[in-house]
Chains A and B, each alone.
Chain A
Amino acid sequence: MARTTLCAGLALGILVAGCGGPEAQGGKAPAAAITINGAGSTFVNPAMSKWAYAYHEAKANTTVNYQSVGSGAGIAQYKAGTVDFGASDAPLSDKERGEMPTPTLHIPVTSGCEVLAYNIPNIGSGLKLSTEAIAGIFLGKIKTWNDPAIARPNPDLKLPAIPITVAHRSDGSGTTFIFTDYLTSSSPEWAKGPGKGKTVNWPVGLGGKGNEGVAGLVKQTPGCIGYVELAYAMQAKLNFGPLQNKSGEYIPPSLESASAAANAAVESMQKDVRVSIVNGAGKDAYPIVGFVYVLVSKTPKDPTKGKAVVDFLKWVLGPGQEMATPLQYAPLPKAVVDLNMAALGGVTTG
C-alpha cells in the first residue's frame, strides 16, 4: 500500500525511538532519579550553576536544573508553579508575598557585590567613581568619559573624550533592584526620578538580558559602563574600580566587604530576612551589596520534589558556601544559616 507513508512513518518512528529509548531505561534504573527546576536571578547564576554541577556529582540521582532568566522571571515562574524554586536578589514585597499561591519562604543563600564594569580604551581596572559621578552617568547627565566629575578622583588617568554608553538590564532583575536601591539611597535626584525596582524607566542606555547580557554589552562596546555582579566582571575579565561609599572613602569590591555588609544586617534579619544592605555606613563598606534569596514554598504541591529542594538548599547552606567563595560570593553569617535551617525545617515534605 502507501509506501511513502510507511517510509515517512518508519523514519519518524526511528527518530522517536532514538529519543524515547534511553528515556524508557532512565525511568526504571535509579529508583529515585529526580529533577528539580529552579529559575531566576542571574546575579547568583555563577554560584548556582556551580552548586548544581557539584550537587549532581555528589548525589547522582538528583539533577538541579537552574535557568538564569532574571529575578523577575524567576518570581513569576515560581508563582505560576512552573518551577520548584525561584531565586531573586530582590525580596518579595508584602503585597507580592500575599499573592503567592502557597506560603513562601525567603532563604538567603549568599551575598555579593555589584560592580560598575567599564570598557574604556587604554584604561585598566581601578577607575574611581564618586557617588555623584555614578548618579550623573546613569541619569544621562554625564555624557563623556573625560567629564570633570569622573576625572577629579582620578588625576593619574588620561581619560579619553569618547561618549559614555550606559548598559542596563532589559529584563526584570534583582541586580537592577539592588543597584537602583543604591542609587535611590545615594542620589535624591534619582529617588525623585526613576526610583527603585526590578525594572525602572531608564533615562539612557542599552538594554541587555541578564547579568550575562549587560557584561556582554560592556565587553563588546567601547565606552560602555554597566552594573554587574562581581563574579561576572571577574570571569569575563572586565575592568572595574573602587566606588565611593557613604563616608566618602573609595572602596574596591571584595568578598570581605560583602561579608561585612551581611554581618551588619544579622540583627535585623532575626525579625525579617528581607533587608536592604546597600550604602552601608561603615568606613570600609562597599556601597552596592545585596543578598540572594531562594523562594520556596512552605507547602510544596509535590512533596517529593519539595524534599529534594530542601535537601539541596541545606547542602548549599553547608558545604556549598565554601564553593562560592572563589567566585567572590560571601559566605553567610552563621546566625543567618541557623535562621535558614530552622525555616527549612518548617517545609512540609513527603
Chain B
Amino acid sequence: MRPGTPGACSGPSARPLRRILSRSLDAAFEHATLLLSLVTVGLIGWIGFRLYVDSALTRHRYGWGLLTGVVWDVPHEIYGAAPYIFGTLVAATLAMLIAVPLSVGAAVWLTSLAPRWIAAPVAFGIELLAAIPSIIYGLWGLFILCPLLQSHVSPWLAQQLGANPLFAGPPVLTNMLAAGVILAIMVIPFITAISSEVIKTIPAAQREASFALGSTKWEVIRNVVLPQARSGITGAAILGLGRAIGETMAVVMVVGNTPRIAASILQPGYPMPAKLINEFNEAFNDPLQRSALLEIALVLFAITLVINGLARLLILLTRQGLANPQEALRPWMAKLRQGLDAVFRHGAMALLGGLVLLQVGADLLKRGLGGLGAPFELALAAFAIGWLVVRRARSTLSNRRIRRWVHGSMSGVLALCALAACTVLGALLGYVAIRGFSALTPQLFTELPRPPGMGGGGLKSAILGTLELVAIAGAIGVPIGLMGGVFVAEFGRGRLGGFVRFAADVLNGIPSVVIGMFAYAAFVLPFGHFSAWAGGGALAVMMVPTIARTTEEMLKLVPSSYREAALGLGATKSQAIRSVIVPAAKSGILTGIMLGIARIAGETAPLLFTAFGSDQVNKNPAESVSSLTMKIYQYAISPYDDWIQQAWGGALVLLLLILVLSIGARLATRGRMRRA
C-alpha cells in the first residue's frame, strides 16, 4: 500500500512537480525515521565494539585468566575478576530468591484474587517503586535498611541458622545480604508488572471452564493460571535477574566493597558494577588496569545482553502463544521456549534443594543428630507434613473444608506478597519524606554547596545542573526516540520493526555504569574534558529506548480507521502520520517523554564519568556540571551530619520531581499505557 498513489487531491493539470515533491518528501520522512530508529541498534553495536576493542590488552595478556583469577593487585599487575563475578552472582541470586516468590505472588493476587478497587492502586504503587532512582534506594538502604538488618535480621539468622557457612561470622553493616535485599526490592516491580501482563493475556474462557468444574479460586490459579503463564513468568524473572546484575549505585552503597570469595552472606562482597563505578575514574592512568575494567564491563554487557534477549524472547513467545493458542509456534521457537523454561525451573529447584541440604547438613555436622531438632529442621518438617496432609486431602476431592481452607490460606499468602511490596514502598517514601522534609529549607534551593565544617549551604548548583543535563539529554534523545518509535509503529511492520523494538528493549537493559564508561570514551576523551554535553549525551543514550517504546505503544493504540481515513482523503503517509496519527496519540507521546525524563533524572553512574560534578553554577555546557544524584551520593557516604541531612533533602526534591513526572504520565493516559 504505497501512499500517495491515489493523487485524487490534485486538479486536472495534476501538477506533477508537486506530486513528485510530496512523494519524495514522504520517502525522505520514512527513511529519516528508519535511520533514527536504527540509532538504538547502532548504539548497542558501538558500545559492544568499544568495550571489545578497548579491552584487547588484558584479553590477550591474561586470556580467560582474568575471569578466573582471584587476586586484583594493581601495583603488581595481577588482575583477577573472579571475586567480582562471584559477588554479582551471589547478590543477584539472593535477590532472585527473595524477589521471585514475592513478585509472582503479588502478580497472581493482583490479577486473580484482589478486588478491583484495591488491585488498581496497589499495582500503581508497585509500578512507582520502579520509577524510584537507584541512588535513593542506596541512601535508604545505607541509613535505614542496613542498620535494621544488622540489629535485627542478621543476628537472628546467625542464631537460628548459624551452623550454616552461609550465615557465619559477626554480621557487618554493609554486606551481601543488604545488597540482595535492596536488589530484590528494586526488581520486584519489574517482575510483578510483567508477570501480571502475561497472566492477563490468559483467555478468560480457560479460567471459566475450570470454575465451571467446581474449582476454588486457588485451584484455578494452580491448575490454569500458573501453568499457562509459566514461561512468561520465567521470562519476567530472567528480566529481573538482568536488572539485578546491572544495578550499580544502590549496590555500591550497601555491599561493603570487599573482594572476597566466601560463603557467608553476612559478610561484605564486591559485585562487578560496584568495582567499575569505584575504580574506572582512576584507571586511565594505567592501560592494563583500564583494559581489565573494560573487560569486566564487557562481561557485564554480554551477560545482560544475553539475559535480556532471552527474557524478552520468552515473554514475547508466551504472550503470542496465549493470544493465539491455535497458531502453533515454529518448532525451534517452541523448543527454545521449553528449553529456557526447563533450565530456569530446574536451576531454581536445584538451588533451593541445595540450600536446604546445606542447612540440614551443616546442622547435623555441628550438633550431630541433635541437629534435627534445630529450628530450621523443625520448620522444614512442619512444612513437609502440612504439604502431605493437603496433598492427601486433595486426592479425596470431596473434602471441601480442606480445599476451602487451602484456598483461604493461599489467598492470604498471596495477599501478603503484595502487602510486602507496598510496605516497602511506604517505608521508602515515608523515610525520604520525613527525613527530607526537615532539610527542605529555602537555602537548599538558593545557595551553593559549602565546604564541610562551614555549615549551611544548599544544592542550587546540583538542582540547576540536573535541569541542564535533562534539557541537553532531551534535546538529543527526544527527537531520536520519537522518530524511532514512529518508524516501528508506522513503517516497521515486518522483521526489521521487530528487530528495532527488540534492540530498544535490550539497550534499556544495559547497565548504566557500562553506558557511563562508554560515554567517557566516546564523549569525554575525544574533547579532552568533562562537560555537561557529555553527561547529557550519556543520559540521552538511556532515554532513547524508553521514548521509542512508549511512542510506538501509543501510536499502535490509534485506531487504524484514522489511518485509513487520512489515506483515503489523499494524504500521503507522512502527512497522515504528522497531521492525524501523531496528534491522536499526543497525550501518550508526551507520557513517553515524561517517563523518559523521569528515567534519566535519577541516573548517577553515567554522570560520574561524564558530567563529573562542580560546586558552582556553570553556565557553559562545555564545562563540568553537578547533578542532584551525584551530590546525594557524595553527601550520603560522607561523615558529616549536615551533609547527610542535605542528601535526604536532595533525595526528596528528586523523588518529588520523578513522582510528579511518573504519576502525571500515568494519569495522562489513564491506564492505556502498557508496560514494555
Partner-B contacts on A (CB < 8 A): 1-5, 7-8, 12, 15-16, 18-19, 22-23, 25-27, 35, 37, 39, 45-46, 49-50, 52-53, 56, 63, 65, 67-70, 72-77, 79-83, 96, 162-163, 165, 170-172, 195, 197-202, 205-210, 212-213, 215-221, 224, 231-232, 235-236, 238, 301, 327
Contact = CB atoms under 8 A, between A and B. Distances in A.
A22 B619 contact: yes
A116 B354 CA distance: 43
Main secondary structure of the interface of A (DSSP, over half): helix
A70 B279 CA distance: 10
A53 B451 contact: yes
Interface size bracket, B side: 35 or more
Nearest to B283: A76
B586 interface: yes
Nearest to A24: B619
A18 to B, nearest CB: 7
A213 B173 CA distance: 14
B281 A4 contact: no
B285 A96 contact: yes
Contact of B256 (A5, A207, A219): A207
Contacts of B359: none
25 contacts: A5-B482, A7-B590, A8-B590, A19-B621, A37-B623, A46-B452, A50-B454, A53-B450, A65-B616, A76-B283, A76-B284, A82-B524, A163-B170, A170-B257, A171-B282, A201-B72, A206-B172, A206-B174, A206-B258, A209-B278, A212-B634, A216-B637, A216-B638, A219-B639, A232-B639
A83 B614 CA distance: 12
Given A49-B615, A206-B256, A208-B637, A19 B285 contact: no
Contacts of B450: 53
Contacts of A74: 282
A56 B453 contact: no
B476 to A, nearest CB: 10
B474 interface: yes
Contact of A200 (B75, B146, B452): B75
Contacts of A208: 257, 637
Contacts of A67: 612-614, 624
Interface in B467-485: 467-468, 470-472, 474-475, 478, 482
Interface of B: 71-75, 142, 146-147, 170, 172-174, 252, 256-258, 268, 270, 278-279, 281-286, 450-454, 464, 467-468, 470-472, 474-475, 478, 482, 524-525, 528-530, 578-579, 582-583, 585-586, 589-590, 593, 612-621, 623-624, 634, 636-640
Given A171-B279, A197-B75, A202-B258, A16 B582 contact: no
A221 B281 CA distance: 27
A201 B617 CA distance: 39
Given A79-B284, A163-B170, A208-B257, A201 B637 contact: no
Given A5-B582, A75-B285, A50 B257 contact: no
A212 B268 contact: no
A50 B454 CA distance: 9
A74 B413 CA distance: 53
Contacts of A45: 452
Contact of B624 (A37, A81, A163): A37
Given A206-B172, A207-B257, A170 B582 contact: no
Contacts of A27: 619-620
Contact of A5 (B173, B281, B468, B578): B578
Contacts of A12: 471, 474-475, 478
B467 A1 contact: no
Given A67-B613, A81-B529, 19 more contacts: A2-B582, A19-B468, A23-B620, A26-B620, A37-B624, A49-B451, A53-B454, A65-B618, A73-B281, A77-B284, A82-B524, A170-B279, A171-B278, A171-B279, A201-B71, A212-B639, A216-B636, A217-B173, A224-B173
Contacts of A46: 451-453
A334 B70 CA distance: 48
A26 B464 CA distance: 15
A174 B471 CA distance: 37
Contacts of B616: 35, 56, 63, 65
Q: Which 10 A-B pairs have the closest CB atoms?
A: A207-B257, A236-B639, A26-B619, A72-B282, A215-B639, A49-B451, A76-B285, A73-B282, A73-B281, A163-B170
B582 A37 contact: no
A52 B474 CA distance: 32
A73 B638 CA distance: 18
Contacts of A15: 467, 470-471, 474
A217 B173 CA distance: 9
Nearest to A78: B285
Contacts of B620: 23, 26-27, 35
A207 B267 CA distance: 12
B528 A82 contact: yes
A218 B173 CA distance: 10
A53 B278 CA distance: 27
Query: Could you say which of A25, A74, A232, A235 has the most chain B C-beta atoms within 10 Å of its C-beta?
Result: A235
Contacts of A19: 464, 467-468, 471-472, 621
B529 A82 contact: yes
B74 A197 contact: yes
A65 B615 contact: yes
Contact of A220 (B72, B173, B618, B640): B173
A292 to B, nearest CB: 16
A46 B640 CA distance: 12
A8 B278 contact: no
A225 B614 CA distance: 31
A280 to B, nearest CB: 24
Nearest to B638: A212
B550 to A, nearest CB: 13
A1 to B, nearest CB: 6
Given A37-B624, A197-B74, A220-B142, A1 B579 contact: yes
Nearest to B450: A53
A185 B457 CA distance: 42
A46 B454 CA distance: 10
Nearest to A235: B453
Nearest to B633: A209
A16 B281 contact: no
A4 B551 CA distance: 12
B273 to A, nearest CB: 13
B283 A35 contact: no
B168 to A, nearest CB: 12
Contact of B589 (A8, A39, A72, A79): A8
Q: For A7, A37, A82, A162, which residue has the most chain B Cβ atoms within 10 angstroms?
A: A82
Nearest to B72: A201
B25 to A, nearest CB: 13
B515 to A, nearest CB: 18
Contacts of B475: 12, 16
Contact of B640 (A56, A65, A217, A236): A236
A146 to B, nearest CB: 14
Given A46-B451, A205-B258, A37 B529 contact: yes
